[in-house]
Amino acid sequence: MRLSLMGKHSIRKGKVGEREAAKLTGGKRTWEHLHDLFAHGRWWEVKREAKGYTKVYGALYEHKEHFEETGDGPVPSVLIRQDRERWVVAFFYSDWVAGRADFRAESQD
């Protein structure tokens, strides 16, 4: 059993997010593993925040606007990094599952 210092609202919101992610991915929520979800042959952590990812979404939509202006880079992709942390790649799930977000597929020569 995991000890939780979260309030009831946060716990409920987390469960709802995990259910949404499981439905979206065709995956399975789990309690017997420390991760939240198993889908596409890998374990996932599911995070849902009211405003916590505003900058990430802003960067993805900014990329989309730039594509509409220039025609370069049709799949919104963002590299983000907090100070003294590793880089994280972000893109929309729908692009990834459709195979459009495979960054190895395109050459930027």
pLDDT digits (tens, 9 = 90+) for 43-95: 888 888 888 899 999 999 998 888 888 887 778 888 899 899 999 989 898 88
User: Could you tell me the residue ranges of all domains in the chain?
Assistant: 1-48, 50-102
What is the pTM assigned to this prediction?
0.69
pLDDT at 2: 56
Tell how many helices (H) and how many strands (E) occur in the chain: 3, 5
Q: In Å, how far are 11, 60, 85 from 35, measured between CA atoms?
A: 15, 26, 21
Report pLDDT digits (tens) over 59-73. Answer: 999 988 888 888 877
**Average pLDDT in the chain:** 83
